[in-house]
Amino acid sequence: MSNSLNVNAPLAGSEDTSAQDAENDYSRTRVPDHAKRGAGAVFSVLVGFVTAFFFILIGGLFLNKSGAAATWIGLGISFCMLIVLTLIVAHTASKEGLTAELLTRGTGFGAAGSVLTTSIYAGTFVIYAAAEGQILAYSIDQIWDLPDKLWHVIVALIFVPMAWNGISSMTKILSWTVMLYVIMLAWAIVTAWNQNGGMPAGMFTAMPDGAVGGVAGVIAILAALAGTVGINPFEASDYNRFIRPGEFTRKAVYSVVLPYALLFFVAIPLGMYFTLITGSVEPSIYFIGLIGLVPGVVLAWVSQIRVNLTNIHVSSVAFSSASEVLGAPTLVRKFWILAVTAVCIGLMWADVLGNLFVFLQWTGIFLLSWVACVVADITVVRGLLKIVTGPIEFRTSKIRRYNSVGITALAVGVSIASYIWFNVSDPIINGLSAYIGFAVAFVVHVGLAVATKGRTYFSDTTDTRISVPVFAEQ
C-alpha cells in the first residue's frame, strides 16, 4: 500500500518555496506565510479594473438597451450572485494559498483537466487587455496622429515593465495613480453636473427609444453580466490567496465586497449618468468634450493603464500555472507577459474591440459553468458531504491527470447552455442560458462525486482524504 497523506500535516508546498516561486508570484505552489499581504494591497489591485472605461461604456449601453430601472435591478441581482460566489472561492484561495488554476486541479478537474478552463480564463483577460489597448490607442491618436498599428505596438509594450515584477510593483503603480484618476473623474462628473443643471432626471426611470424594460430588460442585463459574474470569483481568488486565512473574514469587505460594490453601483451607473447628460455612450468622446482634449486623453490613459495591469498580470499567472502541467516548466510568468503582449498586438491589429460582443457572451456560459463546478466541490463535495477532505491537492504527482467529475459536469453545463443560447428564441430563456448551465453543472458535479465516492480525485486510491477509501488489491 502506498503512503497516505496526513490531513493534519502542513499544507503541501507551503514549506518548500523558492526564489523562482516568488518571482512567479507563486503561480505554481502555495503562497507561503511570509509572502502574505494586507487587504489594502488586494483592494488597490482589484479597484484597478473598476476604473476601466469598459464598465462606464456598458453603463450607457445597458441604459439604451434595457432602460434605467431594469438596469438597476439587473445590477443588484448580479452583484448579490457575484459576492456569494466570490466569497466562497476567495475564502478557499486565502486558506489554501492557491491560484484559480491550482484550485481547479484539486476541485474535480485533475492536473491536465484544468488546462482548458485556465486557457479560456486567461484568454478572456488577454481579450480584455487587447480591447482596452485599442481604447488607449484611439485616445492618444486624438493628440498625435500616427498609424493605428504603430500605436497598438506602443500601448502594448508600455505594460511590460509595469507588470514585470508582479503584484509588488503593480500595487505601487495602482496606488500612485488612484488619486489622479479620482480627481480627473470628479472633474468630469462636476462639469457634466453643471452642464445639465444637476442630476439627470432619468437616472432611475429613463426609458430611451428602443429600450426593452421590464422582466425582459432585467434578463438582458443578467445575460450581459454573466461573464463578469463568472470570471471575477477567480480573479479575486488569484489576489485573495495573498491574504492570511485568519484575517480573510474580517477583511473580505475590503478585498471582495467593496471593489465589486464600486463596480456595480459606481462605475457602471456613471456610464448611465454621462450618457443621459451627453447623449453619447463612448467615454473617449464625452470625456474629451467635458474636460478638454489633453485632460480627457490623460484620464483615458490613467484608467486603462490601471485595468490593463490586472488583465496582463492575471493572464500571465494563469498561463504560467498551466504550462507546468503541459511539460513546460521553463515558461515562467515573465515569458507569458511577453507572449500575452504579442497576442494583444495581434488582436488589436485584427480589431478585437469591434468583435467583442459575441465572444464575451459565450465566455459567460463557460465561466459560470466552471465556477459552478468549483463552488459545488468546495461547498457540497468537501463541505456538506465530506466525500473528499483535507487540504486541496494540486501536485501533479498526487492527483489524477484527468478527473471525470469536473470535466464531465463542465461539458454538460456548457453544452446545454450553449444549445439554449444558439437555438431557443424566447428572450427570457435565452438570456438565462448561462445561469441554466450553472445549475446543471453544479448538480452534475455533485452527482458524479457522490457516484464515484471521490475515487477520481487522487492518484493513490488509498489516500486518507477520500472519505470511503477504495483499497487497491494487495
The SS3 assignment for 458 reads strand
Render pLDDT for 215-255 as a digit per residue (tens, 0 to 9): 999 999 999 999 899 989 998 998 898 888 888 888 899 88
Q: Is residue 38 part of a domain?
A: no
Tell me the C-alpha distance between 162 and 176, whole Å: 13
Outline where 326-432 has alpha helix (H): 333-349, 356-376, 404-423, 427-431
169-178, 415-424, 445-454: which range is least confident on average? 169-178
Query: What is residue 323's predicted lDDT score, i.e. its pLDDT?
Result: 75
Q: Classify residue 287: in a domain, yes or no.
A: yes
126 belongs to a structural domain: yes
Of the candidates 321, 324, 393, which has an alpha carbon nearest to the alpha carbon of residue 108?
393
How far is residue 295's CA from residue 369's CA, in Å, rounded to a whole number? Answer: 42
Q: What is the pLDDT of residues 141-196, one digit of tens each?
A: 777 778 888 988 888 888 887 777 766 666 667 677 778 888 999 999 999 999 99
Q: What is the pLDDT of residues 100-123, one digit of tens each?
A: 889 999 999 998 888 888 888 888
Of residues 324 and 138, more confidently modeled: 138
Q: How many CA atoms lie within 13 A of 2 on its CB side?
A: 15
Q: How far is CA 229 from the centre of its chain?
A: 8
The C-alpha cell of 470 is what?
Answer: 477504495
| DSSP classification of residue 12 | T
Question: Read out DSSP for 264-310?
Answer: IIIIHHHHHHHHHHHS---HHHHHHHHH-HHHHHHHHHHHHHHHHHH
Could you tell me if residue 468 is inside a domain?
no
In a domain, 448, yes or no: yes
CATH code, domain with 62: 1.10.4160.10
What percent of the chain stands above pLDDT 90? 43
The band of 128, judged by pLDDT with boundaries at 50, 70 and 90, is confident
User: Within a 13 Å sphere around the CA of 329, how many CA atoms are in the beta-carbon half?
Assistant: 5
Query: Could you tell me if residue 26 is inside a domain?
Result: no
Query: Which of 248 and 48 is assigned the larger pLDDT?
Result: 248
Q: How many CB atoms lie within 10 A of CB 7?
A: 11
- Over residues 413-442, mean pLDDT: 95
Total domains in the fold of the chain: 1
**Domain span holding position 61:** 44-452
Look at residue 324 and tell me if it is in a domain.
yes
Grid cell of 212 as nine digits: 426593452
| Residue 423 or 135, more confident | 423
- Answer yes or no: is pLDDT of 205 > 90: yes
Predicted local distance difference test score (pLDDT) of residue 330: 65
**Residue 7: what pLDDT?**
33
Query: Is the pLDDT at 16 greater than 70, yes or no?
Result: no
Q: Residue 348 has which C-alpha cell?
A: 488589436
Distance CA 366, CA 349 (A): 26
Return the pLDDT at 2. 33
C-alpha cell at 55: 464598465
Residue 470 has pLDDT above 50, yes or no: no
Three-state DSSP class for 388?
strand
Residue 207 has pLDDT above 70, yes or no: yes
Between these two residues, 321 and 74, which has the higher pLDDT value? 74
Which CA distances in Å does 39 have to 98, 240, 435? 17, 8, 31
Average pLDDT of the chain, as a whole number: 84
Please check whether residue 225 lies inside any domain of the structure: yes
pLDDT at 293 over 80: yes
Overall size of the chain counted in residues = 474
Q: Write the CB contacts of 372 (distance below 8 Å, at least 6 apart in sequence).
A: 409, 413, 437, 438, 439, 441, 442, 445
- In degrees, rounded to 5, the angle at the alpha carbon of residue 366 between the alpha carbons of residues 360 and 371 is 120
The H or E element spanning position 233 is helix 226-240
Q: Is the pLDDT of residue 11 over 80?
A: no
- Residues in CB range of 40: below 8 A, 6 or more apart: 254
